[in-house]
Amino acid sequence: MNKTVNPNELTSDDDYGPLYAARKKVYPQSVSGTFRRIKWGLMAFCLGVYYFLPFVRWNRGLGAPSQAVLIDLPNSRFYFFFIELWPQEVYYFTGLLIIAAVALFLMNSIGGRIWCGYLCPQTVWTDLFYAVERLIEGDRRERMKKDKSSDPMKLERISEIVLKHSIWLLIAWWTGGAWVLYFNDAPTLVKELVTFQAPMIAYIWIGMLTATTYVLAGYMREQVCTYMCPWPRIQAALTDEWALNVTYRYDRGEKRTSVKKAAELRALGEQVGDCVDCYQCVAVCPTGIDIRNGPQLECIQCGLCIDACDNVMTKIGRPTRLIGYDNDINIHRRQEGKPPIYRIVRPRTVVYSAIIAAVGGIMLYTLATRSLLDVNVLHDRNPIAVKLSDGSIRNAYTVRLLNKSGYDRVIAIDAQGPVNSTIHVIGVDSVTPERPMIVVPRDSTSELRLLVTAPAESNPEKSIPVRFHVTDIGLGEVASTTDNFVSP
Amino acid sequence: MTDHSDIDSVSGRSTTGHEWDGIKELNTPLPRWWVISFYLTIIWAIGYWIVYPAWPLISSNTTGLFGYSSRADVAVELANLEKVRGDKMAVLGAAPLADIEKDPALLALARAKGKTVFGDNCAPCHGSGAAGAKGYPNLNDDDWLWGGTLDQIMQTIQYGARSGHAKTHEGQMLAFGKDSVLKPDEIVTVANYVRSLSGLSTRKGYDAAKGEKIFAENCVACHGDGGKGNPELGAPNLTDRIWLYGSDEATLIETITQGRAGVMPAWEGRLDPATIKAMAVYVHSLGGGK
Give the other-Cβ count within 10 Å of B156's Cβ.
24
All residues of chain B having their beta carbon less than 8 Å from the beta carbon of residue A387 are: 141, 241-242
Radius of gyration of chain B (CA): 35
Chain A residue closest in CA terms to B9 = A7
> Could you give the CA distance from residue B57 to residue B132 in angstroms, rounded to a whole number?
46
> Could you give the CA distance from residue A465 to residue A416 in angstroms, rounded to a whole number?
8
Report, as an integer, the average pLDDT of A41-51: 96
Beta-ladder partners of B37: none
Report, as an integer, the average pLDDT of B50-60: 89
Q: Is residue A5 within 8 angstroms of chain B, CB to CB? A: yes
Q: Residue A67: what residue type?
A: Q
Q: Is residue B254 within 8 angstroms of chain A, CB to CB? A: no
All residues of chain A having their beta carbon less than 8 Å from the beta carbon of residue B126 are: none
Pairs of CB atoms within 8 A across A/B: 118
Listed residue (A259, A284, A289, A291) closest to A274, CA to CA: A259
| Residue from the list B17, B31, B131 with its beta carbon closest to the beta carbon of A382 | B131
Beta-ladder partners of A70: A79
Residues A15, B5: C-beta atoms closer than 8 Å: yes
Mean pLDDT of chain A: 90
pLDDT higher than 80, residue B257: yes
| Residue from the list A220, A396, A438 with its beta carbon closest to the beta carbon of B287 | A396
Instruction: Report the residue of B39, B118, B141 to disrupt the A interface, i.e. the one with the largest count of A CBs within 10 Å.
Output: B141
- Helices B184-197, B208-218: axis angle to 10 degrees equals 90
Listed residue (A329, A356, A361) closest to A342, CA to CA: A329
Residues A389, B34: C-beta atoms closer than 8 Å: no
Structure confidence at residue B5 (pLDDT): 66
The size of chain B, in residues, is 290
| Residue from the list B12, B31, B143 with its beta carbon closest to the beta carbon of A20 | B31
Q: How confident is the model at residue B69 (pLDDT cuts 50, 70, 90)?
A: confident
Give all strands (DSSP E) within A251-381, no chain letters: 323-326, 373-379
Q: What is the SS3 assignment for A450?
A: strand
Chain A residue closest in CA terms to B290 = A426
> Could you give the CA distance from residue A370 to residue A91 in angstroms, rounded to a whole number?
13
Residues A386, B27: C-beta atoms closer than 8 Å: no
Between strands A437-440 and B23-26, the pairing is unpaired
pLDDT higher than 80, residue B4: no
Between strands B15-20 and B23-26, the pairing is antiparallel
Residues B16, A17: C-beta atoms closer than 8 Å: yes
| Residue from the list A10, A381, A451 with its beta carbon closest to the beta carbon of B5 | A10
Is the N-terminal amide bond of A255 cis, ω within 30° of 0?
Answer: yes
Structure confidence at residue A8 (pLDDT): 53
pLDDT higher than 70, residue A120: yes
pLDDT higher than 90, residue A222: yes
All residues of chain A having their beta carbon less than 8 Å from the beta carbon of residue B133 are: none
Residues A23, B127: C-beta atoms closer than 8 Å: no
pLDDT higher than 80, residue A483: yes
Residues B35, A451: C-beta atoms closer than 8 Å: no
Structure confidence at residue A155 (pLDDT): 87
Which one-letter DSSP state was computed for residue A139?
S
pLDDT digits (tens, 9 = 90+) for B204-240: 889 999 999 999 999 999 999 989 999 999 999 999 9
Instruction: Report the residue of A228, A386, A422, A459 to disrupt the B interface, i.e. the one with the largest count of B CBs within 10 Å.
Output: A386
Q: Are A454 and A418 contacting, i.e. CB atoms less than 8 angstroms apart?
A: yes
Report, as an integer, the average pLDDT of A466-484: 92
Structure confidence at residue A17 (pLDDT): 58
What is the secondary structure of chain B as a DSSP string?
Answer: ------B-TTT--BEEEEEETTEEEE--PEEHHHHHHHHHHHHHHHHHHHHS---B-SSSB---TT---HHHHHHHHHHHHHHHHHHHHHHHHHS-HHHHTTSHHHHHHHHHHHHHHHHHHTHHHH-TTS--BTTB--SSSS--SS--SHHHHHHHHHH-BSSS-TT-B---B--TTTTTSS-HHHHHHHHHHHHHHTT----TT--HHHHHHHHHHHTHHHH-GGG--BTTTTBPPSSSS--SS--SHHHHHHHHHH-B---B---BTTB-HHHHHHHHHHHHHTTT--
| Residue from the list B16, B101, B142 with its beta carbon closest to the beta carbon of A430 | B101
pLDDT higher than 90, residue B177: yes
Q: Is residue B29 within 8 angstroms of chain A, CB to CB? A: yes
Q: Is residue A14 within 8 angstroms of chain B, CB to CB? A: yes
Provide the phi-psi class of B17: left if phi over 0, else alpha when psi is between -120 and 50, else beta. Answer: left
Instruction: Report the residue of A13, A388, A398 to disrupt the B interface, i.e. the one with the largest count of B CBs within 10 Å.
Output: A388
All residues of chain A having their beta carbon less than 8 Å from the beta carbon of residue B17 are: 15
Q: Is residue A220 within 8 angstroms of chain B, CB to CB? A: yes
> Could you give the CA distance from residue B64 to residue B75 in angstroms, rounded to a whole number?
19
pLDDT digits (tens, 9 = 90+) for A18-27: 677 888 899 9
Q: Is residue A10 within 8 angstroms of chain B, CB to CB? A: yes
Q: Is residue A7 within 8 angstroms of chain B, CB to CB? A: yes
> Could you give the CA distance from residue B158 to residue B244 in angstroms, rounded to a whole number?
22
Report, as an integer, the average pLDDT of B179-203: 94
Residues B32, A16: C-beta atoms closer than 8 Å: no
- Helices A91-111, A231-238: axis angle to 10 degrees equals 70
Q: Are A425 and A401 contacting, i.e. CB atoms less than 8 angstroms apart?
A: no
Residues A427, B107: C-beta atoms closer than 8 Å: yes
Q: Are A113 and A235 contacting, i.e. CB atoms less than 8 angstroms apart?
A: yes
Helices (H) and strands (E) in chain A, counts: 16, 15
> Could you give the CA distance from residue B83 to residue B61 in angstroms, rounded to a whole number?
32
Residues A388, B242: C-beta atoms closer than 8 Å: yes
Residues B32, A20: C-beta atoms closer than 8 Å: yes
Dihedral sign (CA B114, B119, B120, B125): positive
Listed residue (A368, A370, A369, A375) closest to A471, CA to CA: A375
pLDDT higher than 80, residue A360: yes
pLDDT digits (tens, 9 = 90+) for B261-285: 999 999 999 999 999 999 999 999 9
Q: Is residue B5 within 8 angstroms of chain A, CB to CB? A: yes
Phi, psi of B115 (to 5 degrees): -65, -45
Residues A7, B29: C-beta atoms closer than 8 Å: no
Torsion of CA B267, B271, B275, B277, to 10 degrees: 30
Question: In this structure, which long-range contacts are made by residues A60-67, counting pairs with CB atoms below 8 Å and at least 24 apart in sequence?
Answer: A60/A84, A60/A406, A61/A406, A63/A442, A64/A406, A64/A443, A65/A185, A66/A185, A67/A185, A67/A186
Q: Report CA-CA distances (Å) from A376 to A87, A261, A416, A445, A470.
A: 14, 81, 15, 10, 10
Q: How confident is the model at residue A16 (pLDDT cuts 50, 70, 90)?
A: low
Structure confidence at residue A427 (pLDDT): 84
The size of chain A, in residues, is 488
Burial group, residue A477, by CB count within 10 angstroms (0-12, 13-18, 19+): middle
Provide the ipTM: 0.78
Q: Is residue B135 within 8 angstroms of chain A, CB to CB? A: no
Report, as an integer, the average pLDDT of B123-144: 93
| Residue from the list A16, A382, A449 with its beta carbon closest to the beta carbon of B127 | A382
Q: What is the SS3 assignment for A84?
A: strand
Structure confidence at residue A9 (pLDDT): 53
Listed residue (B20, B278, B28) closest to B153, CA to CA: B278
- Helices B184-197, B249-258: axis angle to 10 degrees equals 120
Q: Is residue B237 within 8 angstroms of chain A, CB to CB? A: yes
Is the N-terminal amide bond of A121 cis, ω within 30° of 0?
Answer: no
Q: Is residue A430 within 8 angstroms of chain B, CB to CB? A: yes
Q: How confident is the model at residue A6 (pLDDT cuts 50, 70, 90)?
A: low
The interface residues of chain A toward chain B in range 405-424, judged by CB-CB distance below 8 A, are: 424
Residues A2, B28: C-beta atoms closer than 8 Å: yes
pLDDT digits (tens, 9 = 90+) for A228-265: 999 988 887 888 889 999 999 999 888 898 888 888 89
| Residue from the list B4, B29, B138 with its beta carbon closest to the beta carbon of A19 | B29
pLDDT higher than 80, residue A432: no
